[in-house]
Amino acid sequence: MANQQIIKKIALDTLNLESKSISDLSKVIDSNFCEIINTLKACNGKIVLTGIGKSAIIGMKISATLNSTGSKSIFLHLGDALHGDIGVIGNDDIVICISKSGESNEIESLSNHLKNEGIKLIGISCIKDSLLDKSSDMFIHTEIEREACHNNLAPTTSSSCHLAIGDAIAMTLQKIKGFSPSDFSVYHPSGNLGKKLSLKLNYLVDKNRMPTVSLSSTFFEIIDEISSNMYGATAVIDSDKIIGIITDGDIRRIIEKKHNIDRVLASDLMNKNPKVLSEETLAFHALGVMKKNNISQVLVTDPNNTYIGIVHILDIIKQGINDE
């Protein structure tokens, strides 16, 4: 069994080396990088990521990040591109080729094809003055001290740096394009993330189940209304307007005080400052309101400020939305 101190040292050395190398990339965020960003922003076609081996895997991830943050992108394996698939690259596209060494027959074939077609090539490599550097219209030099691999062979530090520079490109494009959370939800319509960014209270509120009492409703009428609708609360309505809320907690507190409950009315029990939200409110915002105010329900209104029902905190959590 390996010594724990040795295990920890190897792991920490790896993290320290890779984090330093990523931090050192700040020197490539210069006028050349800005030109690359502006070129990609102006792209009328797709941003095509390509590479071989570990670089292909990194390119696939960068392409996915670009797609989800507002920049149209595809991944094309460099080997596949040169065996029949290169036709997927259009004249309005821009190609980003990732390679640790920047040297391969595939890079030479790709660059020759792109030059013949007048398609821009952006290279990302750890080696300056490599074939990829010389063949590219624009180039990012991701210099590293060494790989984290103790043999200095397996792409580790280089892969981390390429992924980081890809994130820097994607996040910069996202920001300068003004890509908003609502735009993000269009690209993520499903899953918990999609729900968090798009699910509104109008989807959760049951307009056929609207617990309601008046100011003069008796204690037992209030209990019946709360129990039959199973929200743990009821709205207090007067002249078609919300004027308060009564929860099961209010019921318990009045019982504990041993009041003469036969004479208790809704006007005696209600909280006059209920949390009322529009049906257009995002569910995750509503959840934040409930957690901030330590409540379990919000009253919901339509665009005319008419009461249409209650949404309980569990209605939101059941949708997989569990934090602000």
Question: For domain 4-179, which architecture applies?
Answer: 3-Layer(aba) Sandwich (3.40)
Count the neighbouring beta carbons within 10 Å of the beta carbon of residue 20.
12
Count the neighbouring beta carbons within 10 Å of the beta carbon of residue 273.
9
The mean per-residue pLDDT over the stretch 306-322 comes to: 90
Is the pLDDT at 254 greater than 90? The verdict is: no
Question: What are the residue boundaries of the structural domains of the chain, listed by start?
Answer: 4-179, 201-317
The mean per-residue pLDDT over the stretch 290-299 comes to: 94
Lowest mean pLDDT among 37-51, 76-90, 152-166, 235-249: 76-90
Lowest mean pLDDT among 102-111, 196-205, 216-225, 299-308: 196-205
Mean pLDDT of the chain: 92
The mean per-residue pLDDT over the stretch 261-265 comes to: 86
Do 4-179 and 201-317 share a fold?
A: no
Tens of pLDDT, residue by residue over 14-43, are 999 999 999 999 999 999 999 999 999 999
Q: What is the structure's pLDDT at 73?
A: 96
Question: How does DSSP classify residue 154?
Answer: S
Is the pLDDT at 300 greater than 90? The verdict is: yes
Q: What is the structure's pLDDT at 256?
A: 83
Tens of pLDDT, residue by residue over 187-219, are 666 666 666 777 899 999 999 999 999 999 999
Q: Collapsing DSSP states into helix, strand and coil, what is residue 177?
A: coil
The predicted model scores a pTM of 0.69
Distance (Å, whole) CA 154 – CA 162: 14
Is the pLDDT at 106 greater than 80? The verdict is: yes
Domain 201-317 class, CATH top level: alpha beta
Count the neighbouring beta carbons within 10 Å of the beta carbon of residue 86.
19
